Structure 1
Amino acid sequence: MPARPAILILSHLAMLAAGFAAGIYVLPILTALPGASAGQLQAVSQQARYSGTFRKDLPGSDALHWASGRLHVSANALAFEGSVAPGPDYRIYLAPTFVDNEAAFLQIKDRSLQVAELKTFGNFTVALPAGVDPAQYAAVVIWCERFGQFIGAAGYR
């Protein structure tokens, strides 16, 4: 008989952990902002000086952490046409070199420029901060700040 209470406690703790994990995954989806419209994307892409591609098959990406789509970089904005795996606390960085995994990004993070928080998991546009020249950078990285997780990157120069 003493085994039954232990099994009940363990099963309830396992369900609590599963519910917590599901909440971490689902909450960003429920609170995500709408993506950029076709017109907003077109306005940036028509002015684009550079372009690049986010791919799911980068060494630092996996089934839960990825970005896939087309990047457009104009003198004062970024536009992304595609999708990003849902998650919390995503940030968009301009990086001095292209990186394809967490360890490589951590080596250059202090030389990278955070330009925005990512609050959607589809198409987006982001205005670059005043005085930022995208020609001084070579890639855009999407990074999960809360968990220190590489999501994706696209080289554009």
Structure 2
Amino acid sequence: MGRVRKVLSRPVVVGFLTVSVMVVGVGLYWFQPWKLWQDETVRETLPATTARPSPSAAPTKAASASPRPAGPETLARGDLISHEHATSGTVKVLRLADGSHVLRLENLDTSNGPDLHVWLTDAPVKEGRAGWSVFDDGKYVSLGRLKGNKGDQNYTLPADADPAAYTSVSIWCDRFDVSFGAAELARL
């Protein structure tokens, strides 16, 4: 009788081990826990700009000698607050000399994680757990994957995205539908 139990239990044990290995593999892929110890620092400079003459100025020698300032104009700014993970830094919405818009993250410091994106949204920024998952409830535009969890980064806004229509920015984890951190944008 003891031999029969050993023979029957071997396939059960092999099956259990196979399922266990598969569950661990899927869990590692899904959660990617190693990213908690991996930092990716990005140090992008402000987007390059060139001086352009004022459109109302006549093409005279005086007008070409004094072009409008070519530096980016800050339209809105905000400070990141923590949600699911400790997050800090500054967010700016900039208009470049050519009329395009860029969202800039400065001194970003957050946790690394799976499937992180930068979202420009119309959702209110709420502190604590109440703010973790409000950003996909309204209008938002994804500006792409987060380039790194630390540093200074630029994200180009799509030409059809009106920066005035959005009131906040979120570092959004698409995998778990949660905000790592967010900033309310104050118009300047």
For the structure 1 residues 119 and 85, does the alpha-carbon distance in structure 2 shift closer, same or farther, using more than 3 Å as the test? Answer: same
- Counterpart of 1:51 in structure 2 is 77
Question: Do the aligned partners of 1:140 and 1:153 also contact (CA within 8 Å) in 2?
Answer: yes
The Cα shift of 1:28 comes to: 7.9
Question: Do the aligned partners of 2:122 and 2:140 also contact (CA within 8 Å) in 1?
Answer: yes
The Cα shift of 1:42 comes to: 9.4
Gaps of 5+ in 2: 1-12, 50-70, 96-100
Structure 1 or 2: more helix by fraction:
1
Amino acid paired to 2:155: V
Question: Do the aligned partners of 2:121 and 2:168 also contact (CA within 8 Å) in 1?
Answer: yes
TM (norm. structure 1) is 0.69
Query: CA RMSD, aligned part only?
Result: 3.4
The Cα shift of 1:88 comes to: 1.1
Q: Among 40, 44, 69, which residue is 2:46 paired with?
A: 40
Question: Do the aligned partners of 2:78 and 2:184 also contact (CA within 8 Å) in 1?
Answer: yes
2:184 is the counterpart of 1:155: yes
For 1:43-84, what per-residue CA distance to the aligned partner results, in whole angstroms no more than 9, with x for missing partners? 7x942111100023xxxx24xx23211111113001111212
For the structure 1 residues 97 and 106, does the alpha-carbon distance in structure 2 shift closer, same or farther, using more than 3 Å as the test? Answer: closer
The Cα shift of 1:119 comes to: 2.6
Partner of 1:40, secondary structure, is coil
Question: Do the aligned partners of 1:25 and 1:86 also contact (CA within 8 Å) in 2?
Answer: no
- Counterpart of 2:103 in structure 1 is 78
The Cα shift of 1:103 comes to: 3.7
Equivalent pairs: percent with the same residue? 25
Q: How many residues align?
A: 135
Gaps of 5+ in 1: 1-5
| Segments ≥4 residues shifted beyond 3 Å | 27-32
For the structure 1 residues 144 and 114, does the alpha-carbon distance in structure 2 shift closer, same or farther, using more than 3 Å as the test? Answer: same
For the structure 1 residues 133 and 106, does the alpha-carbon distance in structure 2 shift closer, same or farther, using more than 3 Å as the test? Answer: closer
Amino acid paired to 2:46: Q
Larger radius of gyration: 2
2:135 is the counterpart of 1:105: yes
2:142 is the counterpart of 1:114: yes
